[in-house]
Amino acid sequence: MISQKAKYALRALLALARAGDRGLVTAEIAETQTIPRKFLEQILLDLKRVGIVHSRRGKFGGYYLLKPADNITFGEVLRLIDGPIAPLPCLSRIAYRRCDDCRSEQNCEIRRVFAHVAQSARDVLDRTTIADALTSPGKAEALADYSTQPA
Amino acid sequence: MISQKAKYALRALLALARAGDRGLVTAEIAETQTIPRKFLEQILLDLKRVGIVHSRRGKFGGYYLLKPADNITFGEVLRLIDGPIAPLPCLSRIAYRRCDDCRSEQNCEIRRVFAHVAQSARDVLDRTTIADALTSPGKAEALADYSTQPA
DNA sequence: GACAAACCCTACCGGATTAATGGAGATTTA
DNA sequence: TAAATCTCCATTAATCCGGTAGGGTTTGTC
């Protein structure tokens, strides 16, 4: 499960992408997206620190996308907020760590299986951008059947 | 990330599969797999309750696979120990829950994207069995390149 | 029938994480 | 200067994770 925080971050970015150059103030995002205002502020600061959004302070300030929407991937947002996408530390790109109790990484059956899971998750998350998510369902979706029902 | 507990469960099952009809006592699994003994006992009880393993008490007791190794999937073990595989509650098969703050599930961009992630995770986890994991790397692995390096 | 080896069950616990909340401060524009 | 806005830091309540502890029950052997 992805965290609530990550969901909020993605929702905020989708809203900012829709707003375009006009940008949005935190209160507005919080209200329309049903995100606790103060929590959202922290999230936007995180997104700002890594250069995904920027902000203007003071009256008529607000938040704006800094990177173009088609250059912000779900993967990078998730890694920022929730940490590694990989299901095992020994499969993480951004935070590789040997499993402390693992004899041989080469021969680890569990690692071998989850490597596939990690790869296919990355295939989706690192290729899908905020802009992609905003385009109408039919367009970028070859697998539309998976998307509308609880499978 | 999958939990340590799930990793232990999978390792225990792999060990039991290798042991076959001889079975194994908890102490033996704990030692060879580097799993805290008492913690392992709890895990094996969980696996027993759902009929994946069975046990014999008393002297010369131990644990045995009840289901054939080629009929135990990574997915079912993961769901048992860690809960839903789906990255969003509204995409879970075993524990569907509407996102409390989601306007329209049909139009949720985030849900649409993560539906693909969930599906591809399930494609691997529900098709891969303990027996598969034990067969030599080259055999069931079309994507061997992903499996040996931290990608 | 005592003993030992094994599984079975329940409770607890410390540390980390999650999802916030609160308040004071800095900045910008009118 | 006032108002609106972002910025920063501290705190918190609840939950989860990864165990530990301490028995209790069953089975086989001598």
Query: Where are the domains positioned within chain A?
Result: 4-65
Distance, Å, B60 CA → D15 C1': 40
Q: What are the per-10-residue average pLDDT scores of chain B (151 residues)? A: 98 98 97 97 98 96 98 98 97 91 89 97 97 76 43 38
The burial of A6, by beta-carbon neighbours within 10 Å (0-12 exposed, 13-18 middle, 19 or more buried), is given as buried
* B102 burial via Cβ count (<10 Å: 0-12, 13-18, 19+): middle
Least confident of A11-15, A145-149, B87-91: A145-149
**Does residue A26 reach within 7 angstroms of strand D, measured from its CB?**
yes
pLDDT at A16: 98
Q: pLDDT at position B17, please? A: 98
Taking residues A138-144, what's their average pLDDT?
47
Q: Which residue of B2, B4, B5, B7 to mutate against A (max A Cβ within 10 Å)?
A: B7
**Predicted local confidence at residue A19, as pLDDT:** 97
Among partner residues A117, A125, A128, which is closest to B124 by beta-carbon distance?
Answer: A117
Say yes or no to pLDDT of A48 above 70: yes
CB-neighbour burial class of residue A60 (10 A; exposed 0-12, middle 13-18, buried 19+): exposed
Range A64-86 average pLDDT: 98
The whole-number Å distance from B80's CA to C6's C1' is 25
The closest of A61, A21, B117 to A44, measured between CA atoms, is: A61
Instruction: Give SS3 for A5.
Output: helix
Task: Name every residue whose Cβ is closer than 8 Å to that of residue B147 and which is 6 or more positions away in sequence.
Answer: A111, A112, A115, A116, B137, B141
Please report residues of B whose CB lies closer than 8 A to that of A121: 117, 120-121
CA distances from A1 to A11, B6, B84, B97 (A): 16, 15, 8, 12
Cα–Cα dist B103/B62, whole Å = 52
Note the pLDDT tens digit of each residue in A108-137. 999 999 999 999 999 999 999 999 999 966
**Interface touch A151/B115, C-beta < 8 Å:** yes
Q: How confident is the model at residue A102 (pLDDT cuts 50, 70, 90)?
A: confident
Spatial distance between the Cα atoms of B23 and A34, rounded to a whole number of angstroms: 54
pLDDT of residue B136: 66
In a mutational test of the A interface, the residue from B1, B34, B37, B129 whose CB has the highest number of chain A CBs within 10 Å is B1
Rounded mean pLDDT, A12-17: 98
- Considering only CA atoms, give the Rg of chain B: 18
Q: What pLDDT shows up at residue B137?
A: 66
Q: What pLDDT sits at residue A137?
A: 66
Give the containing element (helix H, strand E) for A113. Answer: helix A109-125
pLDDT for A99 equals 86
Class of domain B4-65: mainly alpha
Contact in structure between A126 and A75 (CB atoms under 8 Å): yes
How far is residue A140 from each of residues A143, A144, B139, measured CA to CA in Å? 9, 9, 34
Q: Which residue has the tokens 């939990």?
A: B3
Å between CA of B102 and C1' of D20: 41
Give the whole-angstrom CA distance, residue B130 versus residue B78.
Answer: 12
On the question of pLDDT at A146 being above 80, the answer is no
- Show which positions of strand D are touched by protein (CB under 7 A): 2-10, 17-22, 25-29
Distance in Å from C30's C1' to A52's CA comes to 30
pLDDT of residue A136: 66
Q: What is the mean pLDDT of chain A?
A: 91
Give yes or no for A21 touching B (CB within 8 A): no
